[in-house]
Structure 1
Amino acid sequence: MLRMICIWMIGCFIGLCPVYKAFAQPISPRNDSVKVIYIIHADSLIGIQKKDSDITKLMGRVILQQGNTLFSCDSAYKNNTLNIVDAYGHIHINQADSVHAYGDYLHYLGNEKIATLSGHVRLQDAQMTLYTETLTYDLDKHVARYQQGGRLVSQQTTLTSQSATYYTDLHQAFFQYRVRLKDPQYTLSTDSLAYHTDTHTAYFVAPTVIHLQDSATIIHTRDGYYNTDAGEAMFASRSVITDSSQMTTADSLFYFREKGMGVAKGNVIWRDTSRKVTVLAGYAETHDQTHTLLATQQPLLIYQMKNDTLYTAADTLFSGIVSRNDTLQSRHTTNNSQQATDSLRQDSTTIRYFSAFHHVRIYSDSLQAVADSMYYSFADSTFRFYTRPVVWIGDYQLNGDTIHLMTQNQQAKELQLIENAMIVNQIGRGMFNQVKGRTIYGYFRDNHLDWMHVNGNAESVYYVQDDQGAFIGINKVSCAVIDIYFKDQKVYRVSFRGEPAGAMSPIKGANLQDYLLRNFSWQADRRPHSKEELLQSSPGAWKFFQSNENMP
């Protein structure tokens, strides 16, 4: 009996010697494909023989090694038959000094190289730290998963979710169910999200709501990415960006933080809800610092007024904010002194204006217009038309070198034809009623033309009709001032002031060309006849606009 005990003690001593020897020496790298789990150190160990298993119980400062991975803990059971380790207390897995995992308990399948950790679990690499209560980590495939809630922290970004998968070699994480991301630049909520910890880029793969920090801006998206390091973002699939008063959507939206610039491409819709203005376009740019909007590729401006809607098409639309020390009146003067005074009283930092360039066409139920360029400011609610402008109101064509249309409470209030002003009304083939002057002022009531004041070298040609409507003569008059009054959108009275001179000639035998005033030009072919003519410029955007009129 004594002999057997001596042999057993010698065997244990010999078995322990390699353990202490390996711990004292530097650990030589081994091929990670090796499945053998080596005992590097333990304060004590006990061999346990069971029917089908050979188990080693290790206690005190336990260190194990498999390939280039080290395992340390307070105690462990190592099943040598199944190559399984169950470890307890202060678990630390060190995989090639690149990935570290910590927990209270470890169940490790040595053949599959799959570790299941529980209790205050922490997974860490150079890019992030992951916290959860239960984690499965495949050391061979470098994949970690949790299913019972967890949190990933990467620099200043924190992500939480019900479940997640993290690829340690790719530095990519995929989160599912009740996903929340918090970053100094933004927060988001979704049910599915991909995140790259090396580039700090979030990829959106499901309906996502993003709130920008220190801003009222909210983004609704389901496809795109946000890179906080580069300050760049892309939102696809008709994403929507809203703030307190504006909304933007398009096929694709881009943002560049360093440039302070946003770009929208494909069926763009930009809406200013506070001013009831919408812009449709194929392409648009916005700039944070200047608060400007540039729209190209067949842009269309829609202005919803009180009893009408104004549609404006052009080659280019531009919108900006008037600077604090600048006013509209310093750029574009009018003859209405009261409007100038009202403009100066406003806070210019809140005044938005719109400009349209080249091939400008306007349509509304009450009036239509064309010009080479147009300018509108909310400072005085005035439309300004430049370069060959023409305005049509009912059956009347209005011309001038420059035309101003003032509005009030979203209704037409006053019209100014400045220099070479002329009003033309065709009443028959080759027959035109005409009024001409240096300047013509028109005044509206209930959005309809009420009366007009022709000032400076006024001239008129008027075809006289009898009670049955037959033409009996042509009245041509010149004077200082002519006032024209309208009823039911037709002329019912003309008043000549300042010693009028002229005569009425019989229409029979008259050469109608002789009764066309100087600079007469009938331009009916330029007149827009329906909003559909203008909407053809942005059919795709209009389709989205109609189907999403109530979107945020």
Structure 2
Amino acid sequence: IGRYYMDAKKYQFVNNVVLTHPDYKINTKHLDFYSESGYAYLYGPSTIVTDDSKTYCEKGFYDTENKQGYGVKKTKIEYDNRVFEGDSMYFDNTRSFASATNNITVTDTINKSIIKGHYAEVYKDKDSVFITKRALAISVQQNDSIYVHADTLMVTGKPDKRITRAFRNTKMYKSDMSGKADSIHIDHQTGLTQLINLSRLSPKDAFAVKRRPIIWNLGNQMTGDTIHIKSNPKTEKLDSLIVFYDAFLISKDTISEDSYNQISGKRLVGLFDEKNNLRQVDIIKNAESIFFARNDEQELFGIDKAKSGSISIFFADGDIEQYNRYNQIDAKTYPESEFPKNARKLRGFDWREDERPKSVEDLFSDDPPLNLPVIKGLEDYVPQEEFFDESMIGRIEKAEKAEQPKASKDVKNKQKNNKKKRSKASRHLPQRILDSMQQKKEKPKPLMEASEN
């Protein structure tokens, strides 16, 4: 059903509307189309299909001349291998660009990754997504997903060469590993994750120390200037870890409340076992260590402090199982009573367990309160007024009577029997209106009530 409003130069269509053009096809429940400007207002479940994308919304606008539009209810754009969703979305098909606000999800169906946030921009031709406001990247894996949160996330590159970059206040969480850094760079093709420090700040700057990249695995904390984590993209297994410059590994003593096993050096190389737990750690160059030595009954029999060229440590279930020192060894084991408490921490010691994300929710613990803008946009759809009202039907019936010829009774009977023939005034009326008019004609008049004597 459609109408045309001459003053506004607007077409209004309802129920299963299709607008076809060589460059696009629109399907919608209700459509207001302005012929002069080419503006189309869509209400109800609607799609705009082009050669390279499909846009869905339940309330939106589309400029058919400039191929720009927006949706303000359940908007979704599908293109290539991605699905882009948000509460409010603007799109420009001439630039292959879209932006969205509030409750955004971008799903990469090939790489099995999802990014979320509350403001995003998508550049289709550049294979680029920018997202901020509680930005969260999720790499969906069969056994355990990886979550990365930052002030800003960027995902770029073709599906087989995808890169994720996280900037400022970056945190990551996995059930067996978590970390923090100023920035994180993930190469999904090679499986290399880099936790990067703020290079513009001096190492002595308190802010730089706070932002120094950190990794937690079971009971172990590792820090350094830069951290690389290598994993196998196919098997989803962690392979190795490298900490560059000022490497520091700390694990809390299993029994004592304020005792920590510590190793520091210039560089750290770690290897993981089949369960993604640290199995071996090598500290290379200028290695220093403090170990709280215990016997099989977990009784402390001494505190071991040493310097050496390098150290190899082997872990079992997160605890130190064995360690070996190499080159220029200077080591001594002290009875606990002879080792001063103020000497039990190596230079640069910084236990940061209180910063450790232990769940996905912890990734957002330092974020300010989230205040989302109110989406206004289009007014709700206003149903059409009844076109064939009582006044119009009355005029049609009057016109029909005026058209009836003054013929003989036989002619009238002949016309009465010819049901298909209608007058000019009513021949194009919808059947439901004709049926209503006929029912009125056939409705018996009420009998007059007998007056009381």
TM interval, shorter chain, is 0.7 to 0.9
SS of 2:186 mapped into structure 1? strand
Deviation of 1:391 after TM superposition, in Å, equals 0.5
- State which structure, 1 or 2, has the greater radius of gyration over its C-alpha atoms: 1
Is the 8 Å Cα contact of residues 69 and 91 (structure 2) preserved in structure 1?
yes
What CA deviation, in whole Å up to 9, does each residue of 1:44-94 have, x standing for no partner?
xxxxxxxxxxxxxxxxxxxxxxxxxxxxxxxxxxxxxxxxxxxxxxxxxxx
Q: 1:522 to 1:282 in 2, by over 3 A?
A: same
What CA deviation, in whole Å up to 9, does each residue of 1:24-45 have, x standing for no partner?
xxxxxxxxxxxxxxxxxxxxxx
SS of 1:314 mapped into structure 2? strand
Does 2:331 align with 1:521?
no
Structure-2 separation of matches of 1:368 and 1:469: 28
| Aligned-pair identity (%) | 25
SS of 2:346 mapped into structure 1? coil
Question: Which position in structure 2 is the counterpart of 1:363?
Answer: 173
Where do 1:124-139 residues align within 5 Å?
Answer: none
TM (norm. structure 2) is 0.73
Structure-2 separation of matches of 1:210 and 1:453: 58
| 224, 227, 230: which one aligns with 1:400 | 224
Where do 1:455-494 residues align within 5 Å?
Answer: 455-494=284-323
Does 2:134 align with 1:305?
no
Deviation of 1:406 after TM superposition, in Å, equals 1.3
Deviation of 1:219 after TM superposition, in Å, equals 2.0
Structure-2 separation of matches of 1:285 and 1:211: 20
| 223, 238, 257: which one aligns with 1:412 | 238
Where do 1:238-277 residues align within 5 Å?
Answer: 238-257=74-93, 259-277=95-113
Deviation of 1:197 after TM superposition, in Å, equals 1.4
> Whose strand fraction is larger, Structure 1's or Structure 2's?
1
Structure-1 separation of matches of 2:42 and 2:159: 36
Does 2:225 align with 1:389?
no
Deviation of 1:260 after TM superposition, in Å, equals 4.0
Does 2:68 align with 1:232?
yes
TM (norm. structure 1) is 0.60
Structure-2 separation of matches of 1:202 and 1:490: 66
Query: Greater relative contact order (Cα 8 A, min sep 6): structure 1 or 2?
Result: 2
Structure-2 separation of matches of 1:267 and 1:436: 44
Structure-2 separation of matches of 1:349 and 1:531: 26
Q: Which residue identity does 2:188 align to in structure 1?
A: F
Does 2:190 align with 1:380?
yes
Q: 1:539 to 1:309 in 2, by over 3 A?
A: farther
Deviation of 1:349 after TM superposition, in Å, equals 8.3
Q: Which residue identity does 1:518 align to in structure 2?
A: R
Question: Which position in structure 2 is the counterpart of 1:284?
Answer: 120
Is the 8 Å Cα contact of residues 305 and 411 (structure 1) preserved in structure 2?
no
Is the 8 Å Cα contact of residues 307 and 411 (structure 1) preserved in structure 2?
no
Does 2:37 align with 1:208?
no
Is the 8 Å Cα contact of residues 300 and 534 (structure 1) preserved in structure 2?
no
Deviation of 1:257 after TM superposition, in Å, equals 4.0
Structure-2 separation of matches of 1:165 and 1:360: 56
Q: 1:166 to 1:389 in 2, by over 3 A?
A: same
Q: Which residue identity does 1:183 align to in structure 2?
A: H
Structure-2 separation of matches of 1:415 and 1:266: 37
Does 2:5 align with 1:170?
no
Q: 1:389 to 1:236 in 2, by over 3 A?
A: same
Q: Which residue identity does 1:534 align to in structure 2?
A: L
Is the 8 Å Cα contact of residues 32 and 42 (structure 2) preserved in structure 1?
yes
Is the 8 Å Cα contact of residues 305 and 332 (structure 2) preserved in structure 1?
yes
Question: Which position in structure 2 is the counterpart of 1:195?
Answer: 33
Is the 8 Å Cα contact of residues 185 and 228 (structure 1) preserved in structure 2?
no
Structure-2 separation of matches of 1:488 and 1:503: 27
Structure-1 separation of matches of 2:24 and 2:341: 72
| 407, 431, 444: which one aligns with 2:272 | 444
